[in-house]
């Protein structure tokens, strides 16, 4: 098991947002977290990545606690996080954005950049363009590339399709599946497009009000009538 | 006409010094999000360190220059680690007030060690060089120009070619994303202080070469430094270079119409106008 989140309580200041959440990700899986707004989906990812105060519970990565690790240490361990918004450095070029993803690496391994450009061909032409001048979809590619350049073992995606046009939504989700298949990276993803996300996921979790409501394979959750009625809009 | 050209030439020299100081101020603002009021006094400290090495220890000027820059950088990093680091998560106004305190400490320390009187790196007068059209410059002023251009090129290469420089720009863009990306932000902050201190020390030494050393020399330049930073767009090092030149030349040109005593007021006026008309500055991003 690559990631294990055990009974986690977390939040900002005195306010708790997650009230005892447990989640698992197995090697090579795509796992989706779905649920209504404010259910704590994004907070779950941020807690794993050490961006939100963990108050109780335990987060294990390959069986070792990462409760106390800072984000740059986590990147070194093989975790990688794509935030929902503002996930590129606008004044840096596409290539520089990727370089920042490899900041902790002592050597600039060229093949890594080639891999990213192979994965996202549009970025290769735009490698010298400032990321701030790209379209939303291309920016998302940069954010993905930045997160993938260190060849992580676990990729955390916070609503990767938020704010994208329908065309790009499918493209980005297909990319997630492709990346998972080709590189073997495990994916833990929060997604608004719950149906699409569950369809491509090995397993899924439904959160509501900071608690886990359902947990099953992606397909089973899609077929679950209760889940469909309450959370997937019928 | 001659007077005009002479004032522009003087303004460029002053602009160089202001630009060097404000690049660091702007970088620090971009990354730490606070106005470092001790920046002027760090400039003074650099100038006095060079005095220590050059005059008191008898080293050659170039060696004194380099050592003073490094020593100032060392002091800046120590101050950051001891004072600012623990305040990193506080409101930026608290950091700003702390920097005012550090400014006072530095200035009084300088006055304690080296006294309130004027000091000079070199005694004697330099014969000005005729540039044609009646414009005259001192050889030292050419030195100031050359050193500034060299340092500005160095800063540009550092920010665009090195990983640390790119990380500084990344952190200035988005601190939270920088952390998530795995950038060691504390390490980058240290290097930002080193770069800012090296540049401001250079500015102080050049100012000392152009005129003389005085404990209040940097503090007196703080307003033009901030004006240049704001004019260029806070957080934009390239804007700061441009801003420095504009402020320097405007201050000198203003003496055509108003008494020289009011020169600093010109910087203030430009800063106010910029804040009213285009608060993001000439080369700043929308914040």
pLDDT tens for chain B, 287 residues long, are 788 888 999 999 999 999 999 999 999 999 988 889 999 999 999 999 999 999 999 999 999 999 999 999 999 999 999 999 999 888 889 999 999 999 999 999 999 999 999 999 988 777 888 877 778 888 888 999 999 999 999 999 999 999 999 999 999 999 999 999 999 999 999 999 999 999 999 999 999 999 999 999 999 999 999 999 999 888 888 889 999 999 999 999 999 888 888 888 888 888 888 888 888 878 776 43
Q: Whole-angstrom Cα distance, residue A92 to residue A100?
A: 9
| A75-A76-A77-A81 Cα dihedral, nearest 10 degrees | 10
User: pTM here?
Assistant: 0.89
Q: Which two tokens stand for residue B196?
A: 């800012």
Q: Which residues of B touch A74 (CB under 8 A)?
A: 182
Instruction: Pick the residue of B181, B184, B187, B284 with the most A CBs within 10 A to test the interface with A by mutation.
Output: B181
Task: Name the burial class of residue A173, with classes exposed (0-12), middle (13-18) and buried (19+) by CB atoms within 10 angstroms of its CB.
Answer: buried
Backbone CA torsion sign across A103, A104, A107, A111: negative
| Helical spans, DSSP H, in B115-184 | 139-161, 163-173, 175-181
Compare CB distances from A91 to B169, B181, B185 and report the shortest one's residue. B169
pLDDT score of B193: 97
Quote the CA–CA distance of B168 and B163 in Å, as a whole number: 9
Per 3-state DSSP, chain B is made up of helix, strand and coil in percentages (nearest 5) of: 75, 0, 20
How many independent structural domains does chain A possess? 1
pLDDT of residue A111: 83
Cα(B93)–Cα(B230) distance, rounded to whole angstroms? 17
The mean of the pLDDT values for chain A is: 90
Q: Which of residues 167-186 of A touch B (CB under 8 A)?
A: none
Put simply, the chain A residues between 108 and 147 with a CB less than 8 A from any chain B CB are 108, 146
Question: Average pLDDT, stretch A80-84?
Answer: 93
Handedness of CA B119, B122, B127, B128 (dihedral sign): negative
CA dist B95 and B187 (Å) reads 19
CA angle A86, A87, A90 (to 5 degrees): 70
User: Would the pLDDT of A221 be above 90?
Assistant: no
Number of CB pairs, chain A paired with chain B, less than 8 A apart: 68
Residue of B nearest to A48 (CA): B180
Inter-chain CB proximity A86 and B169 less than 8 Å: no
B172 and B235 in contact (C-beta within 8 Å)? yes
Q: Which residue has the tokens 């719950």?
A: A194
Q: Three-state secondary structure along B60-90?
A: CHHHHHHHHHHHHHHHHHHHHHHHHHHHCCC
For chain B, domain boundaries: 2-277
DSSP states along B170-208: HHHH-HHHHHHHT--HHHHHHHHHHHHHHHHHHHHHHHH
Backbone torsions φ then ψ of B63, nearest 5 degrees: -70, -40
What are the two backbone dihedrals, phi and then psi, of residue A217, each rounded to the nearest 5 degrees? -70, 160
Place of tokens 């003087």: B10
Give the pair of three-digit tokens for residue A202. Answer: 């090995």
Q: What is the pLDDT of residues A181-204, one digit of tens each?
A: 988 999 999 998 888 999 999 999
CA closest to B173 among chain A residues: A89
CB contact under 8 Å between A71 and B170, yes or no, is no
Residue A215: strand, helix, or coil: strand
What gap in Å lies between CA B159 and CA B165, rounded to an integer?
4
Q: Which of residues 58-77 of A touch B (CB under 8 A)?
A: 70-72, 74-76
CA distances from A108 to A101, A151, B130, B135 (A): 11, 13, 51, 51
Element (H, E) at A23: strand A15-25
- B170, B177, B285 member nearest A83 (Cβ): B177
Out of B177, B182, B184, whose CB is closest to A89?
Answer: B177
Q: How far is A98 from chain B (nearest CA, A)?
A: 10
Q: What is the pLDDT of residue A233?
A: 67
The C-alpha atoms of residue B57 and residue B55 are separated, in whole angstroms, by 6
Furthest CA-CA distance within chain B: 58
Distance (Å) from the alpha carbon of B210 to chain A's nearest alpha carbon:
36
Find the CB nearest B180 among A83, A91, A99: A83
| Partner residues linked to A56 by β-bridges | A9
**DSSP label at B54?**
I
Are the C-beta atoms of B252 and B7 separated by less than 8 Å? yes
User: Chain A closest CA to B146's CA: distance in Å?
Assistant: 29
Candidate from A35-39, A149-153, B11-15, B20-24 with smallest mean pLDDT: A35-39
Give the structural domain span for A187.
Answer: 3-231
Phi, psi of B3 (to 5 degrees): -60, -40
How many angstroms separate the CA atoms of A22 and B279, rounded? 48
Reduced to 3 states (helix: H, G, I; strand: E, B; else coil), residue A33 is: strand
CB atoms within 10 A of CB A128: 9
Query: Looking at the partner chain, which of B163, B169, B181 has a beta carbon nearest the beta carbon of A146?
Result: B181
Helix, coil or strand: residue A130 = strand
pLDDT at B196: 96
Specify the fold of B2-277: ABC transporter involved in vitamin B12 uptake, BtuC (1.10.3470)
Query: Which residue numbers of B have CB closer than 8 Å to A's CBs?
Result: 163, 166-167, 169-170, 172-174, 176-185, 285
Decide if A89 and B169 are in contact by the 8 Å CB cutoff: yes
Distance between CA B138 and CA B148 in Å, rounded? 16
CATH number assigned to the domain comprising residue A88: 3.40.50.300
């Amino acid at each position: 098991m690559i990631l294990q989140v055990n009974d986690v309580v977390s939040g900002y200041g005195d306010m708790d947002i997650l009230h005892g959440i447990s989640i698992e990700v197995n090697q090579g899986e795509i796992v989706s977290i779905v649920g209504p707004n404010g259910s704590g989906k994004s907070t779950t990812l941020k807690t794993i990545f050490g961006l939100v105060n963990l108050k109780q519970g335990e987060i294990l990565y390959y069986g070792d606690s990462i409760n106390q690790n800072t984000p740059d240490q986590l990147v070194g361990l093989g975790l990688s996080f794509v935030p929902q918004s503002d996930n590129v450095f606008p004044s840096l070029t596409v290539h520089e954005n990727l370089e920042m993803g490899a900041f902790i690496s002592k050597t600039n391994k060229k093949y890594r950049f080639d891999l990213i450009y192979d994965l996202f061909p549009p970025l290769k032409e735009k490698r010298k363009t400032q990321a701030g001048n790209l379209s939303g979809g291309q920016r998302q590619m940069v954010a993905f590339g930045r997160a993938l350049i260190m060849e992580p073992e676990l990729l955390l995606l916070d609503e990767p399709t938020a704010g994208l046009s329908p065309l790009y939504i499918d493209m980005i989700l297909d990319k997630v599946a492709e990346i998972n298949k080709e590189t073997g990276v495990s994916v833990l993803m929060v997604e608004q497009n719950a149906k699409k996300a569950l369809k491509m996921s090995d397993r899924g979790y439904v959160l509501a009000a900071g608690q886990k409501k359902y947990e099953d394979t992606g397909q089973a959750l899609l077929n679950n009538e209760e889940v469909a009625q309450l959370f997937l809009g019928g | 006409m001659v007077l005009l050209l002479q004032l522009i030439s003087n303004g460029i020299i002053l602009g160089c010094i202001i630009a060097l100081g404000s690049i660091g101020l702007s970088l620090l603002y971009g990354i730490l999000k606070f106005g470092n009021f001790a920046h002027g006094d760090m400039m003074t400290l650099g100038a006095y360190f060079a005095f220590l090495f050059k005059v008191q220890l008898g080293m050659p000027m170039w060696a004194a220059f380099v050592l003073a820059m490094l020593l100032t950088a060392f002091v800046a990093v120590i101050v950051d680690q001891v004072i600012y680091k623990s305040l990193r998560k506080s409101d930026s106004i608290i950091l700003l007030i702390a920097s005012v305190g550090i400014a006072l400490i530095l200035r009084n320390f300088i006055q304690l060690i080296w006294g309130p009187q004027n000091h000079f790196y070199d005694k004697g007068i330099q014969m000005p060089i005729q540039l044609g059209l009646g414009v005259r410059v001192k050889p030292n002023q050419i030195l100031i120009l050359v050193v500034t251009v060299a340092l500005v090129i160095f800063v540009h290469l550092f920010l665009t070619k090195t990983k640390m420089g790119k990380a500084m720009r990344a952190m200035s863009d988005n601190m939270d994303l920088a952390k998530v990306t795995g950038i060691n932000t504390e390490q980058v902050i240290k290097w930002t202080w080193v770069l800012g201190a090296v540049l401001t020390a250079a500015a102080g030494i050049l100012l000392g070469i152009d005129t003389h050393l005085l404990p209040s020399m940097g503090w007196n330049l703080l307003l033009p430094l901030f004006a240049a930073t704001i004019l260029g767009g806070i957080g934009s090092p390239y804007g700061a270079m441009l801003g420095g030149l504009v402020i320097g030349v405007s201050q000198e040109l203003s003496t055509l119409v108003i008494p020289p005593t009011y020169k600093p007021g010109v910087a203030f006026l430009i800063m106010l106008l910029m804040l009213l008309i285009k608060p993001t500055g000439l080369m700043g991003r929308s914040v």
